[in-house]
A and B are shown apart, each in its own frame.
Chain A
């Protein structure tokens, strides 16, 4: 019998703990497929964040380091500067990357560190039960914006891809989404381009993946995809924000 589909080698053969309909499952798979296709698992070191994907160190087959909240780009810098031939990636959520870790994110990008950041933007803090994130939309209801995000008292969301693209340091930044097949295919291309950028020593790459959180949005997985399309994509337009490759 011909095998037409299998789990990527870079993904451990263990059950994932994510909620039904969580897009972490999709993105983990895409990253692992890219690592397999580029043949780099043996020299890859991943940095796991604090957030729902904290257990990523159990899901990827390459060497993994758990970082303190927001510090993954600094940890990745330490790893990469020690062994320049390693492919070092971080996998971070919106609280990790754009709240507590803003300085580490901006400065790793500004330094043009030859690392790859996978940024999961789902407009909420998932692991801790659905609080407001720097990427929460105006008017969006969360546990810490129970009347809807009030821009007067709680400010405006951060557009990370746009922000980082104003720096001279980055080599490649693209925003993608995983809400439909067409977008998932584009997301994989972007992730592959980002890892390739690092392998070819061309500099700092970041892929922002607009994602869902059905559990904390209070929607079904299917409704969540729709909510993403109708609300997130207008605020976070997909596309390439930096391409010096």
Chain B
């Protein structure tokens, strides 16, 4: 990446390198695969539009920031009210009774797992999933989301509290 200009090849490099991580991150937030795909496209296009100001060293966290903001904009746009009881985006298959978001081997445990993860609020949820699914350390998560490690810990703690509460209830 030339320090003066960010060209299409640079964008493609970024895309190749960060696509999976960014798409997953968006998915953890919106819980809908088709929507996640739309937003990841928007994210890279927005990166392109602000290419004058992109610096190689910070492009990864910039992508996370753009992705996060695009998710927020999307919901504001649709005047969506997200409320713990009436989670807005129904997951693929909720209407048809198939298996929900995340795949795992044992069906029963999977349902419980999914139900619990859905109760973790956004913010904590993606930290939890980035750690569990992508095996990222707190320091890596902190770097990508531009948070302090302490902040990542706090969000993870919040997820743990909810998990503990839910496990305590015999589902």
Query: Does B bind A?
Result: no
Q: Which B residues contact A (CB, under 8 angstroms)?
A: none
Q: Which A residues contact B (CB, under 8 angstroms)?
A: none
